Structure 1
Amino acid sequence: MDHHKRSDREMGRIYNALVAAMQGFEPEDVPRLRAAQRAWIAFRDADCEVAKFRDRGGREELIYQAECLILRTQSRTSELNHWLQSIKR
């Protein structure tokens, strides 16, 4: 399994745990989180598509994109996990 899929799977795991932990909060909180996550994924994908400009058409183009996807996803996972841990306290 490639690194991006692994980091994406981990983000999904943390996201799902956060959604479960938010049950019983305000009714609009989970839909807001879902909307924010969808918007964040769209941003990540668009941003990382741009990252390929550094070597457009070259051998490194996909490496730059993959690196961006991994780093952005790991950062978001950390943010979601921070929120999850703050709920569990």
Structure 2
Amino acid sequence: MHARFLLALTPLLFTSLAHAAVNCDNATNQATMNQCASLQQAAADKELNTLYQQITSRLKGNPDGKKLLVGAQRSWVAFRDAECQFSASGVEGGSVYPLIYSNCVTQLTKARVETFKTYLKCQEGDLGCPVPGV
């Protein structure tokens, strides 16, 4: 029984080691490039989520504004995913698809990050800004 458990965990162990050992600066094969693109996408998503939480925290006294943000973010995610599916559709089914798709998601996510950073820089009294300043 212990042998089955270890065999079941083996792929997880190798996956964890592969993430730790990947050298994105010198990626020379498609699998590594795809993995690196996925890691960059995850990093951009993490930054976006951190900023999103900061904005929702500032909107805690404004439930209507928070509701609008949630709706806008859901719509933006749907747009991002649809846009990147379209953008990568020319290579759908190919080994480069994950790279093209992830790069698109990363690029659009970074643009959204910049928008959120702008929202977080709002000054008190700026009527054109939906997020209250600190």
Q: Which residues in structure 2 correspond to 1:1-89 (within 5 Å)?
A: 2-25=39-62, 27-86=63-122, 87-88=132-133
Question: Which letter does structure 1 place at the counterpart of 2:51?
Answer: I
Residue deviations 1:42-71 (CA, integer Å, cap 9, x gap): 111111111112323333222110110000
- Relative to its length, the structure with more helix (as a share) is 1
Structure 1 stretches (4+) deviating beyond 6 angstroms?
Answer: none
Instruction: Structure 1: give runs of 5+ residues left out of the alignment.
Output: none
- Flag structure 2 segments of 5+ consecutive residues without an equivalent: 1-18, 20-38, 123-131
Higher alpha-carbon Rg: 2
Write the letter of the residue equivalent to 2:54. Answer: A
Q: CA–CA distance in 2 between the matches of 1:85 and 1:18?
A: 11
Q: Deviations over 1:14-45 (max 9, x none)?
A: 000011112223x3100110011011111111
Counting aligned pairs with the same residue, the percent is: 25
TM-score, normalised with respect to structure 1 = 0.87
- Matches of 1:5 and 1:17 in 2, distance apart? 18
Higher normalized contact order (CA 8 Å, seq sep 6+, divided by chain length): 1
Q: Tell me the number of residue pairs that the alignment of Structure 1 and Structure 2 aligns.
A: 88
